[in-house]
Structure 1
Amino acid sequence: MANLRVAVDVGGTFTDICIFDESTQSMRVTKVPSTPDNPMTAVLNGVRRANINLTDVELFSHGTTVATNALITRKFPKAAMVTTKGFRDVIEIRDGTKDDLWDAYSDVSGPYIRRRDRFEVPERVDFAGNVVTPLDEDAARDLGRLLRKREVDTVAVCFINSYANPAHEIRMREILAEELPGASISTSAEILPEIFELGRFNTTVANAVLGPLVSGYVENLDRSLTADGYTGELLLLHSGGGSMTSEVVKRFPVRLAASGIAAGAIAAQHVAEQCGFANAVGLDMGGTSTDISLIADGELRETNEWQVEYGHPIVFPSIEVLTIGAGGGSLAHIDIAGSLRNGPQSAGADPGPACYRRGGTEPTNTDANLWLGRLGTDLADGEMTLDRASSRAAIESTIATPLGLDIDTAADSIIKVANANMADAVRLVSIRRGLDPRDFALIAFGGAGALHGADVAKELDIPSVIVPPSPGVTSALGCLLVDIQHDLSQMYTGAADAADADVVEEHFRTLELEGRDRLRHEKVAEEDAVFQRGISMRYQGQWRSLQVKMGSGQKALEEAVQLFHEEHEKQYAFRQDETPVEIYQLHLKALGKTPKPSFKPSPVSSDDPGEPIEIRDVHFDGSWHRTPVYQRENLPSGAAFIGPAILNQIDSTTVIPPEASAVIDEWFNIRISLPTATGGEAAETTASDSTQSAV
């Protein structure tokens, strides 16, 4: 019987593979270099490298950067947009904002579909869904013929009030299907039936331009896995923290944008729960970037509007993650004012850091860590040998000599700037919302997260750092912890105190019928289907709304209003109970439960870490320290350390600085305790209670 669950996460530098064996309750991991030109090559290389027999695989889950990279590089197929007459420029006019309000010379990048490829047809539906101007089918058919001559591969159909009545979009799609056989067609009423046209149009346009690219990738990967013996569904992680089958991905490819980023946040939530922390910050530092996520009161923060590029909103529920250009491959450089900078430019997988000896000549964080002794010369279990001399040459020529610094100070400065950038990002997701990072634990993972985690925590006065058992592939683990998930919504505007509870209930049942239908197509058994309701509300006169949980029954709406007041006070520090509340939108998460690994704690066996594999000179705080280096895989649960110490493993390296202490817990996480200026402690529950509940 199939007994393996495999997760693959494609990163900018490495592709991570995580294999959980149900029969032995054990996990193993491996890494292979990413192949940016064809990410599927790295996925299949990883399967082969891990010696996975696909006939033994029960579940194959995949987080991918294909959609995100396509939106960044804008390597799109020939695409067109069809819209209501007079609304051709909605996605170009946008909302008038800028990423940097004070930079008069910085413009927002252009739309994903150029103006010459955006077309209008006569039609009009009013806000209530009444037909004001019928669709001009002759004009629609003429346009279809024109698009065929232009050899258009994909079309976004965006009519102004289609969220209220999709009939015209449905008919336009039928006409285009006749005139453009084989083309991918996305309609805004299907993709995002919401009122505001900018978000709806742009999300539909993004879905359209990604359609052929993502469909081709998914089909080829699915075919290759099937040919090698895999008989299950290929599941792909989406930005909302759930997964979709390959067939659904072809309809909603835009949901794969930020796929891999969400995986890391989900894994951080799992580790925080396992270790008894209700509040935690996820620090996922890879080769190219660092992703910061926030877990507050045990819940990951979500957002309903985000973008890969500023000014081009994607309005699907997504786990809120802040990404900055700070990774192992981030380049250190001197700006025009003579100041030391770190990132966002990256050496990537090719040519990589100077120490890779693949042609890179500029210093990176990896080069600085290598020179300072924090990183060993063997990487990925000896698969790659790093050259310290190349790192020194790059740091000296680019940073040390121009700034008049010695090599040690220059390398240390590179690391300090990178840590300051990450600490600033943590402040943005915490302090900006009135949350004190000192009340949180830091979950440090990714290939480089464990190298920098303790230093970042010290900068923020965070007392506890947790490093998962396999930090370099923790994001891949996140792919194994999610369910199939669809996020459905429906506009419903009106005063909450005048709303008919039975009518609201009927709307939710309609959404649940659609959710059941989607889950049925994904072969989810009826007993594995779960539905979670939500409702967006706002105070009368407000523009923005706030989503809260919604129950069922006659009292559900009244209870939701009370919850809205409470959540509004939490997020915005005020509430107005006397002000009328308006319903804005209904939401439904349709979940299909999937098998998940069940982790068991290991009894604490010894606090003795044993003999180190070597003693290495490592640079901390301006001086060199004789530092023991341990092989993490050999350490028992309960092993304790007093810093400085270095813990090596196949996928990452953990740095425990001087004055810090660390212990390997029963889950084989490394728990690092740091001295703080305030003497504060993280919000940790009783370890025995929390770990048992996490199981």
Structure 2
Amino acid sequence: MSEIRIGIDVGGTFTDFALATPGGLRTLKLPTTPRAPERAILDGVQQILREAAIAPEAVTGIVHGTTLATNAIISRHGARTALVTTEGFRDVLAMGDEGRFDQYDITIVKPEPLIPRWWRYGVPERLAADGAVLLPLDEQALHALARTLRDERIESVALCFLHAHVNPAHERRALEVLQPLLPGVLFSLSSEVSPEIGEYARFSTTAANAFVQPQVATYLDRLETGLAALGLTAPVFMFLSNGGLCHLDLARRFPIRLVESGPAGGAVFAAQLARDLGEEAILAFDMGGTTAKICLIDKGVPRRSPSFEMAREHMHRQGSGLPARIPVIDLVEIGAGGGSLARVDAQRRLQVGPESAGSDPGPACYARGGTQPAVTDANLQLGRLAPEDFDGSGILIDPGLATQALEAGVGAPLALDPLAAAAALAEVVEEQMAGAAREHAREKGVDLRPRPIIAFGGGGGVHAARIARKLGATRVIVPQGAGIGSAIGFLQAQAVYELSRSVAMPLSAFDAGRYNRLYAEMAAEAGAFVTAAAPGAQQVAQRTLFLRYKGQGQTLQIPVEDADLTDQDAPRLHALFQSHYAALYKRALERIPVEIVALSLRVAAEGTAPTPAVTDRLDRPLPETAMLYDLTTGAMVPARQILRADLGPRPLQGPALIKDKGTTIHVPRGFDARTIEGGHVLLTYTGQEG
């Protein structure tokens, strides 16, 4: 039987659908329904199947990614959550690791914990660093605490005991005691969510998991019920922040692993395109309705990280957010999308984002009650977008409302006409996105200038060329299906599960027996999750060691073979670490002991699902020219307008607009555009801006 699969990406503004069939890939974009996200999903699934004349029971798989957990953490709209920890340690969440993301800012603002102090409780118990019991768990204190939690109407509990990553016995016993006393309350154990050394990161990750768990679990229950009511019997998988897939049961237990699922789908999409085109190093740029995402991809593989930061307080500064110790695709996300709102502050400075109009009410031009100018309003005013570009989305665009909002919100305070206000708004948001890319590249020690930019998302093609100029890049690739890139990426993903275990193992006393035993336990656990998501598939395992010189705070990640070792392998591991350290820091250190501090395992189903070519085309007639704002002259000028299907290998000189279903590509003066292998559009900077 031929596979028919649906990828669904729920963003803050739009919900995107990719339907893969033997005949090709169809697309759909609908406004997100924020109060009940599953409503847009169910409406969209019905619509895209009806348009393709496919019966619901013919669908063989559904892959879904969502920003629900991310938005709950950023907006602080989660469950009533309590932290239960070792007595004397309830303030770990507030104290953090005492790091400062800006050493010289005396007014530094650090993120508030997700769980307030009055819902953080300590109980008598204590484990030693090696897991030995120093003080037994006080079960009477737990019984008394249960009454307090009931009185406070707590909905979710994070159990985080000191050194539980070494010995989970006290956390498991606390669960056994509290669960019968608190029916309906959900529990997250740090020894399951993030069993790694470092109390702050482990507590923070578990607190976030507990904070979003009730909301995510209820949402997934509603979605599963709604899909079944439509007659869909296919398995539903969730897209994870590490670029893999999991079954719904795992998503309900560990919703923290969904936090960056949508952006990760875009990274998978861009990585596949980079492999197809033979690009060694690219910058993925995904601009949606609410946020913009930036990811570095080398040799067709997105960069990965064992941790990331949630809800950064200071723009995109590393260290200004809440840590989460879960495997993720390494990217940066900022509040700059089509719905990002503009305002003029008390110092008469134009600010854009991170606040977003979302889909309800949306930008002013949506005519749904929004009055503040948004990026989409500016693009309409500048001629980069047209009302017809939103056909099929259910949104009726009113350009006059965009002009009014720009005049009142930006023009009047700064004494600018609506066109100049729109140009200023676009310039600010593009500089913010370029700045985020520069900062991310600086942190990674990467030169962005030689990298082509792969641009996707609803706004990627509109802004990518201008961002490329700010970064010194000369090539932009806008792929087929760019408007729903993340949803297509979902369909290209594998079933993947990653986990880590903290150890304390000096290489001078390397214990191969313990090493092999730990990896065997991890392989059994990870393999079971992958088997549940991809029954019968061959599995590939990748091991990574986290090593450091004794006394250092930072570690290096060293990939090693997926095989048992012997005690005689210790010198080889030492030499491997020394070579990696020297490659990164130019010289290795001698006579300083090296130790393993953590083991990591990634198990994936082998192979990627083939994704058919996009068959959707924009078929409405276009005027040959459109009025488009030209930055060089500062005025509206006639620009060539062409359907993507009509663009060939012969270069089209900017200024121009290229239109396709769900995608508009803005070709500024100084760039040309042509079609390349696979039907993708390549924009090249020619330098001829005069």
State the TM-score, normalized to the length of structure 2: 0.91
CA distance in 1, matches of 2:168, 2:610: 42
Query: Contact (CA 8 Å) 1:379, 1:385: kept in 2 or not?
Result: no
Query: Contact (CA 8 Å) 1:372, 1:618: kept in 2 or not?
Result: yes
Return the offset for 1:487: 1.4
Return the offset for 1:195: 1.4
Q: Does 1:581 align with 2:594?
A: yes
Query: Contact (CA 8 Å) 1:233, 1:246: kept in 2 or not?
Result: no
Give the 3 Å change call, closer, same or farther, for CA 183–342 of structure 1 in structure 2.
closer
Give, as a single letter, the amino acid of the residue that structure 2 aligns with 1:192.
S
SS of the residue aligned with 1:254? helix
Alignment equivalent of 1:412, drawn from 423, 426, 429: 423
Return the offset for 1:74: 2.3
Query: Contact (CA 8 Å) 1:157, 1:186: kept in 2 or not?
Result: yes
CA distance in 2, matches of 1:510, 1:628: 62
CA distance in 1, matches of 2:153, 2:31: 36
Give the 3 Å change call, closer, same or farther, for CA 18–562 of structure 1 in structure 2.
farther
- For residues 417-462 of structure 1, give each alpha carbon's deviation from its aligned partner in whole angstroms, at most 9, with x where no partner exists: 2211111111112134321111211011111110000111012120
CA distance in 2, matches of 1:556, 1:18: 48
CA distance in 2, matches of 1:403, 1:587: 54
Give the 3 Å change call, closer, same or farther, for CA 145–340 of structure 1 in structure 2.
closer
Give, as a single letter, the amino acid of the residue that structure 2 aligns with 1:216.
T
- For residues 175-199 of structure 1, give each alpha carbon's deviation from its aligned partner in whole angstroms, at most 9, with x where no partner exists: 1122223321111111111111111
CA distance in 2, matches of 1:262, 1:577: 39
Moved more, 426-435 or 187-196: 426-435
SS of the residue aligned with 2:279? coil
State the TM-score, normalized to the length of structure 1: 0.90
Matched with 2:643 is: 631
SS of the residue aligned with 2:213? helix
Give the 3 Å change call, closer, same or farther, for CA 659–113 of structure 1 in structure 2.
closer
Moved more, 460-469 or 589-598: 589-598
Matched with 2:386 is: 376
Matched with 1:353 is: 363
**Matches for 1:542-553 after TM superposition, within 5 Å:** 542-551=552-561, 552-553=563-564
Question: What 5-or-longer segments of structure 2 have no aligned partner?
Answer: 313-320
Moved more, 134-143 or 154-163: 134-143
CA distance in 1, matches of 2:401, 2:537: 59
Give, as a single letter, the amino acid of the residue that structure 1 aligns with 2:604.
L
Give the 3 Å change call, closer, same or farther, for CA 492–125 of structure 1 in structure 2.
same
Matched with 2:39 is: 41
Alignment equivalent of 1:322, drawn from 332, 342, 347: 332
Matched with 2:372 is: 362
Give the 3 Å change call, closer, same or farther, for CA 236–148 of structure 1 in structure 2.
same
Matched with 1:3 is: 3
Matched with 2:217 is: 215
**Matches for 1:383-398 after TM superposition, within 5 Å:** 383-398=394-409
Give, as a single letter, the amino acid of the residue that structure 2 aligns with 1:376.
A
Query: Contact (CA 8 Å) 2:26, 2:614: kept in 1 or not?
Result: no
Matched with 1:490 is: 501
Query: Contact (CA 8 Å) 1:484, 1:594: kept in 2 or not?
Result: no
Return the offset for 1:42: 1.3
Moved more, 119-128 or 138-147: 138-147
Matched with 2:627 is: 617
Query: Contact (CA 8 Å) 1:126, 1:132: kept in 2 or not?
Result: yes
CA distance in 1, matches of 2:509, 2:186: 42
CA distance in 1, matches of 2:83, 2:416: 55
Query: Contact (CA 8 Å) 1:159, 1:169: kept in 2 or not?
Result: yes
Matched with 1:505 is: 516
Matched with 2:318 is: none
**Matches for 1:60-459 after TM superposition, within 5 Å:** 60-98=62-100, 104-105=106-107, 107-310=109-312, 311-381=321-391, 383-459=394-470
Matched with 2:684 is: 673
Aligned residues: 667
Give, as a single letter, the amino acid of the residue that structure 2 aligns with 1:453.
A
SS of the residue aligned with 1:418? helix
CA distance in 1, matches of 2:410, 2:152: 51
CA distance in 2, matches of 1:630, 1:556: 62
- For residues 640-672 of structure 1, give each alpha carbon's deviation from its aligned partner in whole angstroms, at most 9, with x where no partner exists: 422222111221210112232222123111111
- For residues 277-308 of structure 1, give each alpha carbon's deviation from its aligned partner in whole angstroms, at most 9, with x where no partner exists: 11111111111211111113433222223222
CA distance in 2, matches of 1:339, 1:573: 44
Give, as a single letter, the amino acid of the residue that structure 1 aligns with 2:610.
P
Matched with 2:15 is: 15
Matched with 2:317 is: none
Moved more, 302-311 or 205-214: 302-311
Q: Does 1:474 align with 2:485?
A: yes
Question: Percent same amino acid at aligned positions?
Answer: 36
CA distance in 1, matches of 2:200, 2:191: 13
CA distance in 1, matches of 2:372, 2:175: 51
Return the offset for 1:598: 4.0
Give, as a single letter, the amino acid of the residue that structure 1 aligns with 2:4.
L
Q: Aligned Cα RMSD in Å? A: 2.6
SS of the residue aligned with 1:235? strand
Give the 3 Å change call, closer, same or farther, for CA 8–400 of structure 1 in structure 2.
same
Query: Contact (CA 8 Å) 1:550, 1:557: kept in 2 or not?
Result: no
SS of the residue aligned with 1:50? helix
Give the 3 Å change call, closer, same or farther, for CA 182–167 of structure 1 in structure 2.
same
Return the offset for 1:217: 0.8
Moved more, 591-600 or 59-68: 591-600
Return the offset for 1:553: 4.7
Give the 3 Å change call, closer, same or farther, for CA 431–312 of structure 1 in structure 2.
closer
Query: Contact (CA 8 Å) 1:2, 1:57: kept in 2 or not?
Result: no
Query: Contact (CA 8 Å) 2:272, 2:300: kept in 1 or not?
Result: no
Give the 3 Å change call, closer, same or farther, for CA 10–560 of structure 1 in structure 2.
farther
Return the offset for 1:72: 2.0
SS of the residue aligned with 1:81? strand
CA distance in 2, matches of 1:650, 1:569: 50
Give, as a single letter, the amino acid of the residue that structure 1 aligns with 2:42.
L
Return the offset for 1:85: 1.5
- For residues 203-245 of structure 1, give each alpha carbon's deviation from its aligned partner in whole angstroms, at most 9, with x where no partner exists: 1111112221111111111122123222232111121111211
Give the 3 Å change call, closer, same or farther, for CA 449–544 of structure 1 in structure 2.
same
Return the offset for 1:170: 1.1
Query: Contact (CA 8 Å) 2:20, 2:611: kept in 1 or not?
Result: no
Give the 3 Å change call, closer, same or farther, for CA 556–515 of structure 1 in structure 2.
farther
- For residues 470-529 of structure 1, give each alpha carbon's deviation from its aligned partner in whole angstroms, at most 9, with x where no partner exists: 111001111112122221111222222431334322221121122223334x25335432
CA distance in 2, matches of 1:263, 1:664: 24
Q: Does 1:591 align with 2:593?
A: no
- For residues 72-125 of structure 1, give each alpha carbon's deviation from its aligned partner in whole angstroms, at most 9, with x where no partner exists: 222233322211111121112212345555554554343222222222222111
Query: Contact (CA 8 Å) 1:54, 1:225: kept in 2 or not?
Result: no
Question: What 5-or-longer segments of structure 1 have no aligned partner?
Answer: 603-608, 678-695
Moved more, 358-367 or 126-135: 358-367
Query: Contact (CA 8 Å) 1:461, 1:676: kept in 2 or not?
Result: no
Give, as a single letter, the amino acid of the residue that structure 2 aligns with 1:439.
P
CA distance in 2, matches of 1:510, 1:39: 38
Return the offset for 1:469: 0.9
